Every structure is written in C-alpha cells, then in structure tokens.
C-alpha cells in the first residue's frame, strides 16, 4: 500500500503515475527497466484493467516483459513495432540538459536501442537522481565476454585523457559470478566520480574494441518527470523549455505495488 511506502518510493510512484497518463490507446510504448519503471508498468496495468487502455508495450528486459504480461499489457518486440511513439524509463542520474546515466539495472543496451527508436523519451525519477554533473553513479559499459580484461585495460587507458576524476573500473558481479546481461555480455562499471564532457566520453568509449555500448544517454531524453515524497510532481520539457508542477494524490488502499 502506498501509505506504507518510504518517501523515495512515494516519489517514484507519483512520477510513474503521472507519466502513465502520457500513454494513449493505439500507441506503441517502450517500457523501461528498474525499480521506477516497474511502478510505471503497474500503473499502466491498472489503466488497462480499469480504463480499457489498449496499447502495445516493447519491454527493455526480460523482467520488464514478464511484469508487463502479468499486469495485462500486450507485449511485442521492437522488430514487430518497428518504431515507437514513446518510451518511458528511469535513470540513475540526470543533469540540467537531461543527459543521463543509465544501466544500473544492467539493461542499458536494450534501453538505448528502444529509446532511440522512439518519437519521444520520457524519464521518470525521484528528485535525488538530479545532479549538477554526471558521474557520481558508476558509469556502466557493456562489453563482450571474450577478452573483457583487455577491454577493461583499454577503458582505463582511455580514461587517462578524459575529463574525469576517477579511473577505477570493476566487473559487475552477481554473487560469485560475473553479471550477465540479456545479450550474454558483461558490464564494467566505471567509477569516474565526475564527467566533465559526457558527449566526448560516450564517443571515445564506443570506439574501444569489445565495448558494445555505454550508459551515457546524450540528447535522447525529451522530458523528465520528477517525483517528490510529498506527492508533488515536476515535469520538465527540454525541447519546449517548460516546467510544470502538479500533485498526485495517494490512495491509501492502493496495493498495486505490494509485491514489488
């Protein structure tokens, strides 16, 4: 029940609830991965059941696909959809220009493909995700397993000439084994602390042999919906240059998310 949620979870809930209103019947919608995106999927499932909303969802991970089917959303692949009206996803960090770090959930490759195949990308986040400069959250880089230690060495060498504060890289683990993405790849997390030039870093990282994609989303996000623990929601549109505020009321009996 929302009345039992922490302030951070309430903030995620109201952002997701507000963003779910952007979806209209007949749309093809990219569905993100992560804790905030899971709230969104639940909210959309509620609209499917209670309002008769009919749309096709393109999930960015197997776990999002499972949740979407569970709540009654029609799931299709990106190849079937070909192009999307909208993608709604979370972010690990976003700055004032709506540049993002994503990939904390390990789905950055599918997330970036889906987001860039959309007319619009909307990010949903709690206020703590906003930063002045990207980089405090470790930057994920997806690499193929073959020769990953060589890719890691090349990444660390490349960071020497970049405008960053730290150069430590670590292999993401799942228990005692390497974390495996949906595409069967590894993730190296770059602990850079601060990224002075995200655009340059994104370009350099993707030139390194073995690197599949990085978690910097530059010039991809169109709007961010920011939730607060008291129910306030702020929506920023980078293209229109507008900022709006409203409020989402909590329903104490709402148990949409009690099993998340």
108, 52 contact by CB (below 8 A):
no
* Cβ-based neighbours of 10, under 8 Å, separated by 6 or more: 2, 227, 229, 230, 231, 250
In whole angstroms, give the CA distance from residue 56 to residue 17: 18
Q: Is 240 exposed, middle or buried (0-12, 13-18, 19+ CB in 10 A)?
A: exposed
Residue 102 assigned as binding residue: yes
Select which of 51, 70, 74, 111 is catalytic.
111
In whole angstroms, give the CA distance from residue 163 to residue 254: 46
Closest CA to 195 of 235, 170, 238, 158: 158
Residue 119 assigned as binding residue: no
Helices and strands (H, E) in the chain, number of each type: 7, 17
Residue 116 assigned as binding residue: no
In whole angstroms, give the CA distance from residue 30 to residue 78: 9
Neighbours of 156 (CB within 10 A): 14
In whole angstroms, give the CA distance from residue 207 to residue 213: 10
Residue 229 assigned as binding residue: no
Residue 2 assigned as binding residue: no
Residue 89 assigned as binding residue: yes
Residue 33 assigned as binding residue: yes
Residue 105 assigned as binding residue: yes
| Residue 176 among the catalytic residues | no
Q: Encode burial over 21-60: b for 16+ CB neighbours within 10 A, e otherwise.
A: ebbeeebbbbbbbbbbbbbbbbbbbbbbeeeebebbbbbb
Secondary structure of residue 190 in the 3-state scheme: strand
Neighbours of 103 (CB within 10 A): 30
Residue 38 assigned as binding residue: no
Residue 35 assigned as binding residue: yes
Residue 161 assigned as binding residue: no
Enumerate the known binding-site residues for substrate.
33-36, 89-92, 102-105, 129
The residues annotated with a catalytic role in the active site are: 111
Query: Which parts are annotated binding residues?
Result: 33-36, 89-92, 102-105, 129
């Amino acid at each position: 029940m929302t009345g039992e949620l922490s302030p951070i979870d309430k903030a995620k809930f109201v952002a997701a609830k507000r963003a779910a209103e952007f979806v209209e019947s007949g749309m093809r919608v990219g569905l993100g991965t992560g804790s905030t995106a899971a709230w969104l999927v639940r909210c959309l499932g509620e609209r499917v059941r209670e309002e008769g909303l009919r749309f096709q969802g393109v999930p960015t991970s197997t776990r999002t696909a499972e949740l979407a089917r569970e709540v009654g959303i029609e799931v299709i692949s990106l190849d079937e959809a070909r192009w999307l009206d909208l993608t709604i996803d979370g972010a690990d960090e976003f700055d004032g220009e709506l540049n993002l770090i994503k990939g904390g959930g390990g789905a950055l490759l599918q997330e970036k493909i889906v987001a860039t195949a959309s007319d619009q990308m909307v990010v949903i986040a709690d206020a703590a995700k906003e930063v002045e400069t990207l980089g405090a959250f470790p930057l994920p880089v997806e690499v193929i397993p073959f020769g990953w230690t060589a890719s890691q060495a090349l990444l660390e060498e490349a960071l020497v000439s970049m405008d960053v504060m730290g150069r430590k890289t670590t292999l993401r683990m799942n228990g005692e084994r390497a974390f495996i993405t949906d595409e069967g790849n590894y993730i190296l997390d770059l602990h850079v602390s601060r990224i002075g030039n995200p655009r340059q870093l994104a370009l350099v990282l993707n030139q390194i042999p073995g690197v599949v994609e990085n978690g910097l989303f530059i010039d991809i996000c169109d709007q961010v919906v920011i939730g607060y623990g008291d129910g306030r929601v702020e929506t920023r549109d980078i293209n229109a240059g507008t900022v709006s505020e409203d409020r989402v009321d909590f329903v104490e009996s709402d148990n949409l998310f009690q099993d998340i």
